């Protein structure tokens, strides 16, 4: 069974929160960092408590650390050497392999995210803006009480209207698929993936091979921990809406084009493979049907859901492409930042987008494979294009929309997103937080 009481809640639960803040932290002194960690770890929620929390429970804080942060806290070099190579290098150092070039290059990233002084991230959740202010004030008290710990930058994560369904700035419904993990007592819905082995996401458990992979040492530091891949992407909402209008004469046609890019209808999340011609609200909000499909059997040529659509790249659901899909899954967390742009308003150029964390046990095999191969490799499905939303597109690009008798290729499109941040963190277990705070 999974040790829920020793796992930070972040990847396993969704608190009853509508707003969050990412505080990116630096430790000017090791002692200050350890003292801060000792104080703040008392309000870090574990998966067991948050899953059963009530409205008044505010232990919705999560803490994660960069490689430099672990070193600053006092983890010895022999132990540091046992962590994975991508984590040790950091996302910015792997930008070429990831496809982050040109305007997407780390030189252009925001929030001091590439600083060698970035040591930790404190993720603070709240139900509303008032409570967020209380959380920030409380965290500021911890900082004041522990000199030598400072906030390098912060990012407000907040839902955008309309609030009747969770979505991002382009209007796509979000949070539709999350892997079911063995040992949590939750059964997968019909047609979805079989429950994933805990070792695909948390260190110290068997993965899909049936074995427990080597984990960083000492075990108390890594057991029940996960790697977090942070990715911030600015969304060019005006360019996206212009594209829809240029390729659809009516609202219905524009919604179909939007669905072809994503693989799901925008407002409901209903998958194209099950309703290719018209949105289906009942299907979209039916958890047992919304993920019950298989591209290999239902849509092998992409006539319903294009091969290059976002969800088909991120989760191929096709045995011809990957017989080990469960080894590529990540747990995605995060949300939107920046002001909402009303449907009838011109794009004023404000900085808005998504900032997400992908949780996994193997950065290279899971997160980096998804981005570097399935999102950014032009040879994916021999399409000579990249993911329109998760890929690092520089300048113009194209999308292919399969259609009988002749496919439609739309060329000369401006990128819908720009990568503006990225980093790798380690999310320790609860016992590991106390261990880190006790180092000398």
Residue the block writes with tokens 């003292």: 35
In this prediction, residues 268-279 reach a mean pLDDT of: 96
pLDDT recorded at residue 268: 97
Is the pLDDT reported for residue 336 higher than 80? yes
In this prediction, residues 246-252 reach a mean pLDDT of: 93
Is the pLDDT reported for residue 154 higher than 60? yes
Residue 399 in tokens? 């999308």
CA angle at residue 182 from 177 to 184, to 5 degrees?
A: 85
Are 355 and 338 within 8 A, CB to CB? no
Q: 440, 419, 433, 434: which is closest to 114 by C-alpha?
A: 419
Give the Cα separation of 155 and 359 in Å (integer): 19
Give the Cα separation of 375 and 420 in Å (integer): 17
Residue 326 in tokens? 């469960």
pLDDT recorded at residue 393: 75
Read off the pLDDT of residues 73-103 as tens digits, 9 standing for 90 and up. Answer: 999 999 999 999 999 999 999 999 998 999 9
Give the Cα separation of 151 and 146 in Å (integer): 12
Give the Cα separation of 25 and 117 in Å (integer): 8
Give the Cα separation of 250 and 269 in Å (integer): 20
How many CB atoms neighbour CB 396 within 10 A? 10
The band of 366, judged by pLDDT with boundaries at 50, 70 and 90, is very high
Bond into 162 cis (ω within 30): yes
Give the Cα separation of 32 and 34 in Å (integer): 6
pLDDT above 90: percentage of residues in the chain: 67
Torsion of CA 216, 218, 221, 223, to 10 degrees: 70
Q: 67, 32, 396, 44: which is closest to 221 by C-alpha?
A: 67
DSSP, collapsed to helix, strand or coil, labels residue 27 as: strand
**Mean confidence (pLDDT) of the chain:** 90
Residue 150 in tokens? 């400072």
Q: Looking at per-residue confidence, does 241 or 56 come out higher?
A: 241
pLDDT recorded at residue 193: 64
The band of 55, judged by pLDDT with boundaries at 50, 70 and 90, is low
Give the Cα separation of 63 and 415 in Å (integer): 33
Bond into 286 cis (ω within 30): no
Bond into 218 cis (ω within 30): yes
Give the Cα separation of 271 and 262 in Å (integer): 9
pLDDT recorded at residue 321: 59
Read off the pLDDT of residues 381-430 as tens digits, 9 standing for 90 and up. Answer: 767 788 878 877 776 778 887 777 777 887 777 789 999 999 999 999 99
What are phi and psi for residue 235, nearest 5 degrees?
-105, 125
Global pTM value: 0.94
Read off the pLDDT of residues 9-51 as tens digits, 9 standing for 90 and up. Answer: 999 988 778 899 999 999 999 999 999 999 999 999 898 888 7
Is the pLDDT reported for residue 378 higher than 80? no
pLDDT recorded at residue 394: 73
Residue 257 in tokens? 């084009």
């Amino acid at each position: 069974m999974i040790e829920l009481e020793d796992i930070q809640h972040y990847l396993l639960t969704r608190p009853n929160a509508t707003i969050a803040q990412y505080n990116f932290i630096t430790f000017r002194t090791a002692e200050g960092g350890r003292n801060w960690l000792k104080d703040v770890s008392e309000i870090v929620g574990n998966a067991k408590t948050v899953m059963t929390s009530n409205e008044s429970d505010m232990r919705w804080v999560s803490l994660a650390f960069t490689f430099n942060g672990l070193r600053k806290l006092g983890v010895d070099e022999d132990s540091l050497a046992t962590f994975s190579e991508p984590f040790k290098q950091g996302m910015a150092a792997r930008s070429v392999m990831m496809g982050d070039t040109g305007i997407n290059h780390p030189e252009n990233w925001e929030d001091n995210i590439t600083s060698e002084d970035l040591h930790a991230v404190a993720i603070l959740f709240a139900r509303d803006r008032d409570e967020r202010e209380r959380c920030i004030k409380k965290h500021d008290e911890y900082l004041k009480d522990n000199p030598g710990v400072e906030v390098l930058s912060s990012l407000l994560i907040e839902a955008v209207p309309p609030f009747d369904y969770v979505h991002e700035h382009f209007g796509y419904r979000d949070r539709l698929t999350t892997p079911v993990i063995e040992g949590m007592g939750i059964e997968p819905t019909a047609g979805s993936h079989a429950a994933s082995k805990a070792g695909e996401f948390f260190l110290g458990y068997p993965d899909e091979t049936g074995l427990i992979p080597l984990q960083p040492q000492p075990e108390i530091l890594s057991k029940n921990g996960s790697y977090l891949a942070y990715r911030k992407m600015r969304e060019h909402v005006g360019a996206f809406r212009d594209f829809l209008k240029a390729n659809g004469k009516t609202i219905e046609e524009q919604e179909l084009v939007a669905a072809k890019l994503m693989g799901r209808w925008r407002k409901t999340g209903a998958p194209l493979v099950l309703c290719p011609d018209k949105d289906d609200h009942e299907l979209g909000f039916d958890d047992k049907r919304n993920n019950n499909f298989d591209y290999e059997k239902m849509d092998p040529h992409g006539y319903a859901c294009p091969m290059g659509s976002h969800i088909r790249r991120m989760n191929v659901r096709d045995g011809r492409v990957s017989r080990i899909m469960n080894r590529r899954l990540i747990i995605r967390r995060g949300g939107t930042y920046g002001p909402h742009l009303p449907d009838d308003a011109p794009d004023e150029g404000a900085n808005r987008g998504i900032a997400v964390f992908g949780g996994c046990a193997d950065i290279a095999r899971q997160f980096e494979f998804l981005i570097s191969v399935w999102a950014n490799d032009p040879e994916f499905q021999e399409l000579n294009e990249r993911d329109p939303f998760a890929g690092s597109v520089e300048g113009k690009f194209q999308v292919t929309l399969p259609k009988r008798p002749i496919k439609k290729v739309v060329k000369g499109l401006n990128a819908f997103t720009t990568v503006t941040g990225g980093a790798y963190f380690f999310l320790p277990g609860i016992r590991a937080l106390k261990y880190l705070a006790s180092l000398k």
